[in-house]
Structure 1
């Protein structure tokens, strides 16, 4: 994990930031990285916040807004002190606006290379509620969302890969995912499953009674798809042979959106490392369908990275932060 030098640590009240504190300390210390702590006020501005409390007698909107901002700043400073006491360079930012938008704007303006946040606190909701999913869809840098059950160290890691040497973007992303997963496994002493889920597209259609294609021909197509996929997977993992003692390579036929969540549940996986891809022609607007399906069915920690060339739809916009 020697790649992150400028970490953004989300410390708002909706995120269980305490769960991520050890990870931030570990990464910042190992990489001599700078850390920026951010908290968010979910509003278009301080005046909008104060209007929520306009019915309180004896207090003006401005005074209430200033009090709210002051409390947020004090909490940020208190959390920053914990890191500074460990010799970590820390900055703080209070962001005002729609949280995921302001976090992404800070990523762009601050040129951060990693966002770390704790899982959403709200009980009875999906692990990745709407706001977190927006962040995962649109943030240009890797995001690490941490769940209580896995910290401070991972024990079982799954990296989901889909090698394709003819697709340079996908090939580069798979290399990044393997680098992240293997270095994390080594640092934590964790076991690592490298999983590639493959299938022949439209096999069921080809085998339908209305199809005129012979079963033997379909079987040959399936065998070719399997062998090609296995060869690409072997080529990918061959570059990481130094991690053979930690690594189990799995080549499974099926639908990734089904196979991966089932494997996570059955094997007690506590951390997934996976890529997110945009739909062709609509850069930055969508997380890949498979990735989103998986995220909607797991509750472990997730470290995601984007394919090269990802373009976020979030602009820097007007200033929404307070130092």
Structure 2
């Protein structure tokens, strides 16, 4: 399987340090070292929008367009300076577009130019905002058709740990396929950055309402059966990828809690998980496991989509 060849880096104009660009260069250099014949393209990208230019009535549409182009050109110079300061030997292309919805601009770029990885810096979101207002990160996670790497402050040390979050208890084709994709990506990246792969899987505890409504329900037996089922499924999955059982974790609890606990325990530099696109009220209010996890982790997160996923912005 080819590693990433066409990388889109989302630039944050509000910060001095461009974590995402730094990570992209590091990753690209490692890929190039491993496969010198492989061409890797990096595009540094961001969208800009100033509502005042759209609202003014004293300018003609041509004047407005000229002003927009002037702003874009100024930002392009700023971006080229940032790229130049990295002293990267690889060619990095810069691109600035005028768009009022950053996530749409990013995803449309991915679709138009077949990027195979988006890298974006992230930080702790205000919990209230992440429930009521959906930040750019969440939109990208839900709607971007290619893998998304959200970068935090954690370094990638040699012989570090990558944690792949799988759902081995399910026999649904989509979950099984996604488990294989997640684990394959984890192994490829581990080889690239000289890290160890660990697998984590959570399973639900006894449903409280069943225990209350059915007095003869044996909660202890239910838990034991559930645990045994997930442990056996994990054993088979780990064996098929030659991952030692000592590097597997099967824990009772919510996925976001279990993933966070194990990531902290092994000091993971990268967590890889699957995310499915969700829209509407449920997505805004509940979010999904990937979103809950990302807020709680202090390391990078790589979110992958199921095979065949089509972005709602594709048409």
Query: So what's the TM-score if we normalise by structure 2?
Result: 0.78
Q: Give the Cα–Cα distance (whole angstroms) in 2 for the partners of residues 197 and 85 of structure 1.
A: 41
Aligned to 1:183: 188
| Secondary structure, aligned partner of 2:75 | helix
Deviations 1:284-320 (A, max 9, x none): x78962222222322321011011232222245xxxx
> Does 2:162 correspond to 1:161?
no
Q: Give the Cα–Cα distance (whole angstroms) in 1 for the partners of residues 288 and 30 of structure 2.
A: 33
Aligned to 1:297: 296
Please list, as runs of the form range in 1=range in 2, the aligned pairs for 1:68-217 lying within 5 A after superposition: 68-79=71-82, 86-88=89-91, 90-97=92-99, 98-120=101-123, 130-151=135-156, 155-163=160-168, 166-200=171-205, 202=207, 204-208=208-212, 210-215=213-218
Q: What displacement does 1:9 show?
A: 1.9
Structure showing the higher helix proportion among its residues: 2
> Does 2:7 correspond to 1:7?
yes
Q: What displacement does 1:235 show?
A: 1.6
Distance 1:25 1:170, change over 3 A: same
Check conservation: 2:34, 2:192, Cα contact below 8 A.
no
Aligned to 1:256: 255
Check conservation: 2:203, 2:254, Cα contact below 8 A.
yes
Q: What displacement does 1:53 show?
A: 10
Check conservation: 1:196, 1:252, Cα contact below 8 A.
yes
Check conservation: 1:117, 1:146, Cα contact below 8 A.
yes
Runs of 4+ in 1 over 3 A off after TM superposition: 14-19, 27-31, 48-54, 60-67, 75-85, 123-129, 151-154, 218-221, 285-288
**Pairwise CA RMSD of aligned residues?**
3.6
Check conservation: 1:5, 1:34, Cα contact below 8 A.
yes
Aligned to 1:67: 70
Distance 1:11 1:49, change over 3 A: farther
| Secondary structure, aligned partner of 1:140 | coil
Q: What displacement does 1:165 show?
A: 6.6
Q: Give the Cα–Cα distance (whole angstroms) in 1 for the partners of residues 154 and 185 of structure 2.
A: 20
Check conservation: 2:156, 2:269, Cα contact below 8 A.
no
Give the length in aligned residue pairs: 297
Deviations 1:100-121 (A, max 9, x none): 111000101111111112235x
| Secondary structure, aligned partner of 1:133 | helix
Q: Give the Cα–Cα distance (whole angstroms) in 2 for the partners of residues 9 and 159 of structure 1.
A: 23
Distance 1:112 1:164, change over 3 A: farther
Query: So what's the TM-score if we normalise by structure 1?
Result: 0.76
Aligned to 1:57: none
Q: Give the Cα–Cα distance (whole angstroms) in 2 for the partners of residues 165 and 272 of structure 1.
A: 20
| Secondary structure, aligned partner of 2:118 | strand
Aligned to 1:41: 47
Check conservation: 1:37, 1:76, Cα contact below 8 A.
no
Deviations 1:125-151 (A, max 9, x none): 579881111111111110111222224
| Secondary structure, aligned partner of 1:207 | helix
> What are structure 2's unaligned runs of at least 5 residues?
58-62
Q: What displacement does 1:192 show?
A: 3.0
Q: Give the Cα–Cα distance (whole angstroms) in 2 for the partners of residues 75 and 153 of structure 1.
A: 34
Distance 1:299 1:130, change over 3 A: farther
Q: Give the Cα–Cα distance (whole angstroms) in 1 for the partners of residues 87 and 214 of structure 2.
A: 67
Q: What displacement does 1:275 show?
A: 0.7
Check conservation: 2:48, 2:72, Cα contact below 8 A.
no
Check conservation: 1:38, 1:95, Cα contact below 8 A.
no
Distance 1:12 1:95, change over 3 A: farther
Check conservation: 2:273, 2:303, Cα contact below 8 A.
yes
Aligned to 1:19: 22
| Secondary structure, aligned partner of 2:176 | helix
